[in-house]
Amino acid sequence: MRIGVFICKCGTNIAATVDTEAVAHKALNFPDVVCSTDYMYTCSEPGQKEIQDAIKKYDLQGVVVAACSPRMHEVTFRRAVEKAGLNRYMFEQANIREHCSWISKDRAANTRKAIDLVRMSVEKLRFNQPLFSSQVPINKRVLVIGGGISGIQAALDCADGGLEVVMVERESTIGGKMAKLDKTFPTIDCSSCILGPKMVDVAQNENIRLYAYSEIESVSGYIGNFKVGIRKKATYVDWNACTGCGLCTEKCPAKKSFDGFNEGLNTTTAINIPFPQAIPKKAKIDPAFCRYLIKGKCKICQKICPVDAIRFDMEDEIVEEEVGAIIAATGFDLVDHSVYGEYGGGHYPDIITGLQFERLVSASGPYGGHILRPSDGKEPKNIVFIACVGSRDPSIGRPYCSGVCCMYIAKQAILARDHIPDSNCYVFYMDIRAPGKNYDEFVRRAQEEYGVQYIRGRVGKIYPRGEHLNVQGMDTLLGAQVEVEADLVVLATGIGASAGAKDLAEKLRISYDEYEFFMESHPKLRPVETNTAGVFLAGVCQGPKDIPASVAQGSAAAAKTQALFSRDTIETDPQIARVNERVCIGCGKCIDVCPFGAIQWKTLRDGSQKAEVLDSVCQGCGLCNATCPPKAIQLQHCTDDQILAEIDVLCTGERHG
């Protein structure tokens, strides 16, 4: 093999602490190396041209570049060598920046290490083989999991682009958390007025098939060809017949059912439609409260229903859909504030969450838009808002900022002052985080125009005294303790992952962080993709964000889907596992360890069972390679031979320097 070695100085990033000239000089002595040089910026256009010229001049069959991490520029250099006529896998990149020059200031030691790293790359390259991609067809349908604002945006963008969309929503209506909000910051426009039309669009768009009150049961397959099992939970109402007239909800005698839409501030009927603008506007029965389903007597809804839609014998049903891409948009749930013993541990009715306040102030809420105390229905005069409840608090295992609370309490305080002009609003805060467009101005309006009193400090305790709640805290600007006699306390409850996020992530085979938020592929450069090809993220399921950011990510996920579907086939990555059938003993260990379900049984003509890798599912992690007892399964471009060759020269090769 004829190999060329190119050492990058990366300006001073590498050259300051590595003698690149010495490395290049030393590399000339390595086996098969016919040319070697160093250059200021190898990734630049003239740098790439130098590689391409050398390939022609020296008739190179392989190229080693010693530069930054391959995560940075492997694609760049592969493309460069391919343009000069080499197979792109006849290229190796030695990382002498992140793994070497940036670590130590000892120039001699760094140079020695750089020489070793280049030596290893050369040795690996000597075992490289040209690899080629294959093509698989794409099923151009997309599954959107979650019918909140980001899922709605993603679904509408995909459907408008002509794609068929399958939307799955856990609740009996789409709309998500945004449907519960009264107004939105920083413009105070009505949440349901801007969300409602989009929900209607989802219902009316012919390209969208909506499964409400349904959950993902199973996911198999791979990018371009997923098979998804969807559990349609029993609603006990035939939605094909139900017209959403609501007669049943008026007559249902079980009026103490939990009202999830109103965050438990109110009760509802066992058969219910969550709110008047629900999409789909269909009734469902909550079996935990239905008299007939509990005691076997009642059936009033069945008698009253004008279209005979009630089906007490309904059971869950599993349907299967085939899609080519999946957008996860499962949103969030509030952090459970009952962990805070000092804030009453959830025992006091007049200490409420941010979302409960939204329902209090909403015209469609339990009090028709009048702000009243849940305990006695009296109008509160002193309202205290406490920021960072369940955010930025390592003591309860939530060190992150929820990002939206500073803004929503400013909005809620403004609304409170608007609804009850003679009220006093206090906000206890740690820092005000308002980095969005027109956000800081909005918080200032709360303070200056609406006279909301901002107190910088934490609240140490809330306790009831008579009819009031005494809020004891610290004003760190005054350096004094303060106590407010409040009538209503609103905790700016932080954002946690949606219930069941972890289970869904495991079904989708995507990663999640310690707080169960889904992991993006790269925190800056691939914020919408996951590490499982064909699965994209939208909205708060990936991490706390506000409505504009959720909508933007919904559109971004749709754009990624459109880009994927703009081709009829997808090119597979050849850096995947391959089975040598003559060596495979059919033990099946590789099938057990594969986290992606990429290995299956294959029966040969003689009836023997062998492992077979599904090219488009394999993600090239190499677990099977490490597990296989006879080493029959090998990860291409990272085979045992290639790794052992690198280790051999590192351990036994002569020391240079």
Report which DSSP code applies to 250: H
428 touches another protein (CB under 8 A): no
For the bound state, the minimum distance from the C-beta of residue 299 to another protein, rounded and expressed in Å, comes to 44
Q: Does an H or E element contain 443, and which?
A: helix 439-448
Q: Which of residues 113-172 bind another protein (CB under 8 A)?
A: none
Q: Hey, which bits of 149-306 come out as E strands?
A: 164-168, 183-184, 189-190, 208-211, 214-222, 225-232, 257-258, 267-268, 271-272, 284-285
Which stretch in 144-152, 191-199, 334-342, 627-635 sits in contact with another protein by CB under 8 A? 334-342
For the bound state, the minimum distance from the C-beta of residue 384 to another protein, rounded and expressed in Å, comes to 15
464 touches another protein (CB under 8 A): yes
Residue 655, both tokens = 């020391």
Residue 176 CA to residue 537 CA, distance in Å, equals: 16
C-beta separation of 133 from 574 below 8 A = yes
156's CB contacts (< 8 A; 6+ apart) are 198, 201, 202, 205, 208, 558
131's CB contacts (< 8 A; 6+ apart) are 87, 89, 574, 575, 636, 637
Applying CB under 8 A, the site for another protein has a residue count of: 11
For the bound state, the minimum distance from the C-beta of residue 493 to another protein, rounded and expressed in Å, comes to 17
Q: Which is nearer to another protein, 465 or 605 (CB)?
A: 465
Q: Which is nearer to another protein, 396 or 585 (CB)?
A: 396
Q: Residue from 137, 341, 397, 435 that binds another protein (CB under 8 A)?
A: 341
463 touches another protein (CB under 8 A): yes
Q: Which is nearer to another protein, 70 or 344 (CB)?
A: 344
303 touches another protein (CB under 8 A): no
Which stretch in 89-97, 168-176, 335-343, 369-377 sits in contact with another protein by CB under 8 A? 335-343
For the bound state, the minimum distance from the C-beta of residue 391 to another protein, rounded and expressed in Å, comes to 17
C-beta separation of 253 from 207 below 8 A = no
Residue 558 CA to residue 157 CA, distance in Å, equals: 6
Q: Residue from 77, 89, 275, 340 that binds another protein (CB under 8 A)?
A: 340
604's CB contacts (< 8 A; 6+ apart) are 581, 610
Closest listed residue to residue 138, CA positions, set 484, 644, 562, 641: 562
Closest listed residue to residue 252, CA positions, set 241, 242, 267: 267
Q: Residue from 266, 364, 470, 511 that binds another protein (CB under 8 A)?
A: 470
For the bound state, the minimum distance from the C-beta of residue 423 to another protein, rounded and expressed in Å, comes to 24
For the bound state, the minimum distance from the C-beta of residue 340 to another protein, rounded and expressed in Å, comes to 7
518 touches another protein (CB under 8 A): no
Q: Which is nearer to another protein, 296 or 479 (CB)?
A: 479
Q: Hey, which bits of 152-192 come out as E strands?
A: 164-168, 183-184, 189-190
C-beta separation of 136 from 225 below 8 A = yes
Residue 612, both tokens = 């077979």
397 touches another protein (CB under 8 A): no
For the bound state, the minimum distance from the C-beta of residue 461 to another protein, rounded and expressed in Å, comes to 7
461 touches another protein (CB under 8 A): yes
Q: Which is nearer to another protein, 186 or 344 (CB)?
A: 344
Q: Which residues bind another protein (CB under 8 A)?
A: 340-342, 345, 347, 395, 461, 463-465, 470
